[in-house]
Structure 1
């Protein structure tokens, strides 16, 4: 029992450390990717190829003055970014990042907790993140932050409904909510990947994920084209940074889940070992999110809601109906 507790604590520390670093490193990668697509330099002065820009940004965030608005509820104002980080990291407890492997005769299971409702836990724990922008906007004492929080709550609630409905069709085929079982279902080769059986579910889930992650073109939570910054208008320094570290960490989590559900997970890919294969898949989906940001224009809030309720929701329900008929037949 003590060995199990120690192993679990080590896994938790590794996940928190690795994804906190990846969340910060993704900011550098995204700036480089956007610079490539838009023919500009990006980070290039701090270190070779600007690689130390991440360190410079970290120093800036840690040393920048932490401003507390005069009319803010200071406790809630301070706890909102912590909720954002927790809602991004806790769902990773049920993600099997790789297959089992052995070190010095000890078998390691690279998952913190393999529960039979892993996918439900991932979606539910991640949905708690709605409280971060909501509390941030309510506690800031600013009408701009309050309006941004209301817009964030509407967007997140809407697309959580769509993403949950969308994922039902693949689950009906697999018959399990465990991400490990979903991965094993696709172990027969590339043709067994669920993306070929549920292409519509994959497209809808990917779009809903971008909306939940505040990714362009659905970045209406904190709209970079506006003068104010939505629910984070009054934030600065490390608290501001925590919101966006959480966003990038959650992006990696969603990319792992998409790879596990639709693209064979950590099963070997031809001559490529399973651990390397899933890393390549996750890197592709992270790059795809950055590619989308460099390519598509922003949408209006009314366009986003119309797409959610009048297009994606009916398509998700139709997909569930067709899948159920095929299974019964």
Structure 2
């Protein structure tokens, strides 16, 4: 008799991608439709959950009128957006203006194609993995599709023909490209552990131990880059309402704005699913459930439940952070990515590769070394960050002069830079420079 553990071992070979040899065209279409419906429904539920959870955190109810417990509020908002009047600015490039939201939304759905929901199951007599497709470089495929999605944001800001959307598009593209580098570097240790870039092979390599334990520092870096990649608080700097009035989609309305809104939340689901796959065993049941009846809960349709539960834990973390932390300054955010995350990730990769090459070291000993190095890297990075921040306060970055400055010296009022103070006004005569009122102006004002 074949045990459940032997069945698990037979479904997916260690270190190898899942097999799609027994699939038919209708099965591929069915799985693609299932993924699309899953993402859309998850987005509606996440929007509702976000408003309800943050409402509780801020002592207000949240949506509770449309449908039971307000569950249909997200659907009602989507229908309302689709039926609103669609306005196109006169100065906009119409072709690019219409194409930009489609690019941003399409890339989010395409990236989810390589995420495994579970092992191979039987569907109407056909043996197929619960995954749309898989390639030897599946994770690189996700990163490349995310890079293409940046074009949608950048083109949206440029094609609107307005200043604020252009600034928002440039800030967002710089932010996403910068944090994509750190995200890609954080995944390299996982490739070293699994010996593959295939998502199904990475899940299979986590049978005995999830990679979050030995690659703890990579996981911390990935979690930070998740927020930077999806433009979510505290890193929603592309939509800074205080300075950009909404960012790259300021000039968008109706269904086009809804596509950008959908893309943001589908991006949240995608990066959460990737984190589950890379660090938390993917669809595998957590211990001790994984040891029940020789791993029976890792067979059939049970793994879909474990995958969805892990996915929602990350989505809840997104909501929790949004309701807890304020938005950071843009220069602080970019400095953190380039001066800390990227160099620290490079050092961590070197440490992982070196420790894995050491002879006569047991698996448990390597794990302890990885955890110790990860903790030291976090502590050392925090100390370096504090020192760098104090240095920044003492020394100007752009070559400007510290001390008191005249805001009207150049002819137009200019806000002070870090470390500068405005000259205290003592009436109209205290203002000097080209912006100061002249005697003729004062005389005209008296007349």
Q: TM-score range by the shorter chain?
A: over 0.9
After superposition, the Cα gap between the structure-2 partners of 1:42 and 1:85, relative to the gap in structure 1 and judged at 3 Å, is same
Match of 1:195 in 2: 212
Match of 1:147 in 2: 167
Higher relative CO (CA 8 A, sep ≥ 6), structure 1 or 2?
1
SS of 2:30's equivalent in the other structure is helix
Native 8 Å contact 2:211 2:281 kept in 1: yes
Q: Distance in 2 between matches of 1:11 and 1:312?
A: 37
Pick one of 161, 166, 173 that aligns with 2:186. 166
1:234-276 C-alpha deviation (Å, 9 max, x unpaired): 0011110110111111111111110111111111223354222
- Bigger fraction of residues in helix: 1
Moved over 6 A (4+): none
After superposition, the Cα gap between the structure-2 partners of 1:104 and 1:5, relative to the gap in structure 1 and judged at 3 Å, is closer
Native 8 Å contact 2:230 2:268 kept in 1: yes
Deviating more after overlay: 243-252 vs 269-278: 269-278
Match of 1:303 in 2: 332
RMSD value over aligned CA atoms? Answer: 1.6
Q: Distance in 1 between matches of 2:54 and 2:241?
A: 14
Q: Distance in 1 between matches of 2:350 and 2:310?
A: 29
Deviating more after overlay: 100-109 vs 66-75: 100-109
Aligned residues: 326
Q: Distance in 2 between matches of 1:33 and 1:226?
A: 27
Match of 1:91 in 2: 111
SS of 2:239's equivalent in the other structure is coil
Measured after TM superposition, the shift of residue 3 of structure 1 is: 5.9
Native 8 Å contact 1:23 1:246 kept in 2: no
Q: Distance in 2 between matches of 1:268 and 1:172?
A: 23
Q: Which runs of 5+ in 1 are unaligned?
A: none
Measured after TM superposition, the shift of residue 48 of structure 1 is: 2.2
Residue 208 (1) aligns with residue 225 (2): yes
Pick one of 50, 58, 72 that aligns with 1:52. 72
Measured after TM superposition, the shift of residue 92 of structure 1 is: 1.0
Q: Distance in 2 between matches of 1:25 and 1:128?
A: 27
Q: Distance in 2 between matches of 1:178 and 1:84?
A: 25
Q: TM-score, normalised by structure 2?
A: 0.71
Q: Which runs of 5+ in 2 are unaligned?
A: 1-20, 290-296, 359-447
Match of 2:310 in 1: 281
Match of 2:195 in 1: 175
Q: Distance in 2 between matches of 1:44 and 1:24?
A: 15
SS of 1:194's equivalent in the other structure is coil
Q: Distance in 1 between matches of 2:357 and 2:260?
A: 45
Match of 1:15 in 2: 35
Native 8 Å contact 1:114 1:180 kept in 2: yes
Match of 2:348 in 1: 319
Measured after TM superposition, the shift of residue 105 of structure 1 is: 3.4
Native 8 Å contact 1:97 1:256 kept in 2: no
Q: Distance in 2 between matches of 1:71 and 1:179?
A: 45
Match of 2:99 in 1: 79
Measured after TM superposition, the shift of residue 227 of structure 1 is: 6.0
Residue 31 (1) aligns with residue 51 (2): yes
Q: Distance in 2 between matches of 1:90 and 1:307?
A: 30
Q: Distance in 1 between matches of 2:94 and 2:35?
A: 30
Q: TM-score, normalised by structure 1?
A: 0.95
Residue 126 (1) aligns with residue 146 (2): yes
Match of 2:269 in 1: 252
Q: Distance in 1 between matches of 2:122 and 2:23?
A: 16
Q: Distance in 2 between matches of 1:129 and 1:229?
A: 19
Q: Distance in 2 between matches of 1:325 and 1:146?
A: 45
Match of 1:220 in 2: 237
Q: Distance in 2 between matches of 1:256 and 1:79?
A: 27
Native 8 Å contact 1:211 1:219 kept in 2: yes
Deviating more after overlay: 11-20 vs 70-79: 11-20
